[in-house]
């Protein structure tokens, strides 16, 4: 029997689990994926790596600033650029947003999740698909492999639309209307991400490292991902599509062609036609990439007899920063319902 089951090993779930574990609670983190980090995701490919989820960290708020400082000191993070650029649809001009510091991990952004996962009990490859209160008055969770978990409290640290699917069966008799209305009101944008590598050594690489596109119907962001790596074997880019484009082509059977269309459009928009001829290309679909509407609160608690709280980036924002703040708030909420111990707060970093 566990004190707390945390569903989701993204930034919110990991930070929440660290707070509670370090306060002496027994905590199990359960994630449907093989890896951890959720949307802070890195893929190994062709002797290199690419961040196909979160692109970089920006120092915001005390906890994130301290996390960045610590990981920079350890050599896991470094400053990538202080000069993020934005291109308007109507113009080929790129506007510099100076003093926007962007930190990246040469070993891949998911080193951040690995760092935060230290000392936690994590069950991977376990999609929680049912949750109920047992006759012994415990939360009872079942996974797709029929594994079972019991706990006296549950933290649901997953995107709101996935939480709706999971919690729907509880709705009839356990969940209050206000909770459900708020949860159902949170929508997410999808995104299609392309990773592409170039073997031709004669191509002239751009001087920029990343460009965000404003009001572009196809493109959202492009980054020279190989510039994040130490000694990259060849140049490679990561390109995120716009939400509109992803919505239209999300269910496409031929994802490679969809990826090729994104590349072609990026080549045309940036006047880098060679982008259209990669040596390799991989495409990833994010059904729940960015919150379209977020709650104006850092957690969403249900009025159940046993504690249950939802958290994630969609509670208060849409980036890693809000996921972290929300994960800490969820830990405080659970602690207030259990043994009211002293939580480490920002000091949790000292134990890692």
Ligand X SMILES: Cc1cc2nc3c(=O)[nH]c(=O)nc-3n(C[C@H](O)[C@H](O)[C@H](O)COP(=O)(O)OP(=O)(O)OC[C@H]3O[C@@H](n4cnc5c(N)ncnc54)[C@H](O)[C@@H]3O)c2cc1C
- List interacting residues with ligand X (CB under 6 A): 7-13, 30-33, 38-40, 53-56, 127-128, 157-159, 162, 166, 191, 193, 240, 286, 289-290, 312-313, 319-320, 323
Strands 27-30 and 2-7: parallel
Of 191 and 300, nearer to ligand X (C-beta) is: 191
CB of 290 vs ligand X, minimal distance in Å: 6
Of 203 and 319, nearer to ligand X (C-beta) is: 319
Of 10 and 206, nearer to ligand X (C-beta) is: 10
CB of 10 vs ligand X, minimal distance in Å: 2
Q: Where are the beta strands (DSSP E) in the chain?
A: 2-7, 27-30, 42-45, 48-51, 78-88, 94-104, 121-123, 128-133, 139-143, 148-156, 188-197, 210-214, 219-223, 236-241, 280-291, 300-301, 308-310
Of 25 and 221, nearer to ligand X (C-beta) is: 221
Of 5 and 174, nearer to ligand X (C-beta) is: 5
Alpha-carbon distance of 294 to 306, in angstroms, equals 25
> Tokens 């962007």 — which residue?
102
CB of 204 vs ligand X, minimal distance in Å: 26
CB of 130 vs ligand X, minimal distance in Å: 10
CB of 221 vs ligand X, minimal distance in Å: 7
CB of 106 vs ligand X, minimal distance in Å: 16
CB of 250 vs ligand X, minimal distance in Å: 13
Alpha-carbon distance of 241 to 223, in angstroms, equals 12
Alpha-carbon distance of 325 to 313, in angstroms, equals 8
216 neighbors 89 (Cβ within 8 angstroms): yes
Alpha-carbon distance of 200 to 217, in angstroms, equals 29
Q: Is 70 exposed, middle or buried (0-12, 13-18, 19+ CB in 10 A)?
A: middle
CB of 3 vs ligand X, minimal distance in Å: 18
Of 28 and 240, nearer to ligand X (C-beta) is: 240
71: phi then psi, degrees, rounded to nearest 5 = -70, -30
179 neighbors 189 (Cβ within 8 angstroms): no
Of 128 and 270, nearer to ligand X (C-beta) is: 128
Report CA-CA distances (Å) from 295 to 17, 183, 261, 299: 22, 9, 34, 8
CB of 202 vs ligand X, minimal distance in Å: 30
6: phi then psi, degrees, rounded to nearest 5 = -105, 120
Residues paired with 42 in a beta bridge: 51
Of 69 and 203, nearer to ligand X (C-beta) is: 69
Of 76 and 313, nearer to ligand X (C-beta) is: 313
Question: Within 10 A of 311 (CB to CB), how many other CB atoms are there?
Answer: 34
8 neighbors 158 (Cβ within 8 angstroms): yes
Of 9 and 270, nearer to ligand X (C-beta) is: 9
Q: What is the dihedral of CA 314, 319, 320, 324, to 10 degrees?
A: -40
CB of 286 vs ligand X, minimal distance in Å: 4
């Amino acid at each position: 029997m566990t004190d707390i089951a945390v569903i989701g090993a993204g930034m919110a779930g990991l930070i929440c689990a660290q707070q509670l574990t370090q306060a002496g609670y027994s905590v199990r983190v359960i994630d449907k994926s093989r890896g951890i980090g959720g949307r802070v995701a890195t893929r190994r490919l062709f002797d290199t790596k690419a961040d196909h989820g979160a692109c970089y960290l920006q120092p915001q708020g005390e906890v994130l600033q301290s996390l960045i400082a610590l990981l920079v000191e350890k050599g896991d993070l470094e400053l990538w650029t202080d000069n993020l650029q934005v291109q308007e649809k109507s113009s080929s001009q790129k506007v510099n947003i100076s003093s926007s510091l962007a930190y990246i991990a040469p070993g891949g952004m998911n080193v951040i999740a690995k760092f935060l996962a230290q000392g936690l009990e994590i069950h991977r490859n376990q999609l929680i698909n049912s949750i109920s209160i047992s006759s012994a008055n415990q939360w009872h969770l079942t996974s797709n492999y029929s594994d079972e978990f019991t706990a006296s409290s549950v933290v649901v640290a997953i995107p709101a639309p996935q939480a709706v699917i999971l919690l729907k069966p509880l709705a009839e008799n356990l969940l209050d209307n206000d909770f459900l209305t708020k949860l159902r009101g949170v929508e997410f944008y999808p995104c299609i991400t392309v990773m592409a590598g170039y073997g031709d050594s004669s191509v002239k690489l751009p001087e920029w490292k990343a460009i965000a596109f404003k009001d572009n119907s196809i493109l959202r962001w492009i980054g020279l991902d190989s510039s994040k790596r130490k000694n990259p074997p060849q140049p490679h880019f990561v390109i995120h599509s716009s939400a509109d484009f992803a919505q239209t082509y999300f269910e496409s059977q031929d994802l490679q062609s969809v990826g090729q269309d994104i590349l072609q459009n990026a080549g045309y928009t940036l006047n880098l036609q060679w982008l259209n001829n990669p040596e390799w290309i991989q495409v990833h679909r994010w059904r729940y990439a960015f919150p379209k509407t977020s709650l104006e609160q850092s957690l969403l608690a249900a009025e159940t007899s046993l504690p249950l709280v939802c958290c994630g980036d969609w509670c208060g924002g849409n980036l890693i920063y809000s996921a972290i703040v929300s994960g800490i708030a969820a830990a405080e909420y659970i602690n207030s319902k259990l043994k009211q111990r002293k939580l480490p707060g920002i000091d949790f970093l000292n134990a890692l």
